[in-house]
Amino acid sequence: MIKDKVVLITGASSGIGAATAMLLAKKGAKLVLGARREEKLQHLVKEIESAGGTAVYQTLDVTDAEANKRIVQFAKDTFGRLDVVFLNAGLMPNSPLSELKTNEWNQMVDVNIKGVLNGIAAVLPTFKAQKSGHVITTSSVAGLKAYPGGAVYGATKWAVRDLMEVLRMESAQENSHIRTATIYPAAIRTELLETITDTESAKGMAAIYDQYQIGPDRVANVVAFAIDQPEDTNVNEFTVGPTDQP
Ligand code: NDP
């Protein structure tokens, strides 16, 4: 059931995070939204409220471990509990390894991997104490299939897959009733390509994405499906992308 669940979303200011917030709010969830761009979060909260939903926000940089703890506490202070965390913040500044864009490599490691770890660390004590909770992450098909230009991005998304699978196993072993789901989107129209600074990689990715039209609402549907399952049922891994994308 989605209705009345308290759901924290990182990377909620645009794309998949924002679309998921809108959908879950329509289905009666109470949303806690985190990202760095405050105006975007303010706008989204207003949009959700004017559609009859409930949402609050707190600015969040997922690379800051303490900020992750603060937003979890904010969710609990505001709504009395936290049921689901959707660790979705990410960026994809692709480039060939030979370009040595080491700052961007580090940025991807910091946001796409450490950001997810910070989120897990912030929420796990609460979920274990409650003996319930749901951790959902946005990996990528790039975490399943390598491609030139996507070495570091793919590595970060592979890492998410691995740590989520272990989280699932350990949670089950510990009988903590924590559900996990990892989502592997393919080409979804969002702001993600804007993070690419390497001209050739930007052109190459744009050429792929220009062929497809599906938006972040399709990923939101999958997140909603995972949450909506009975509490004793863990639907665990999904790919989602355009029908005609090979
Ligand atoms: P967007 O660029 O639209 O969204 C990315 C979100 O991440 C933004 O809300 C941004 O917010 C947030 N973000 C980035 N850095 C940080 C940070 N340090 N702290 C907090 N939030 C941060 O792209 P998508 O919606 O597509 O991306 C969402 C996820 O989906 C990412 O993990 C991406 O890798 C994954 N994905 C997307 C695919 C696609 O085709 N679109 C395919 C496969 C996976 P702000 O800048 O306000 O902080």
80, part of any domain: yes
For position 103, which CATH number holds? 3.40.50.720
Task: Check if 153 is active-site.
Answer: yes
The residue range of the domain holding 96 is 6-239
The predicted pLDDT at position 27 comes to 98
Residue 153's contacts (CB-CB under 8 Å, 6 or more residues apart) are 92, 93, 94, 108, 112, 140, 142
The predicted pLDDT at position 69 comes to 98
Mean pLDDT, consecutive 10-residue stretches, the chain (246 aa), reads 98 98 98 98 98 98 98 98 98 98 98 98 97 98 97 98 98 96 98 97 97 97 98 96 96
CA-proximal residue: ligand 1, atom 9 (nearest): 11
246, part of any domain: no
User: How many structural domains does the chain have?
Assistant: 1
Which one of the listed residues 153, 184, 209, 212 is annotated catalytic?
153
Which atom of ligand 1 is nearest to 187's Cα? 40
134, part of any domain: yes
* ipTM confidence score: 0.99
Q: Which of 136, 155, 146 is nearest to 237 (CA)?
A: 136
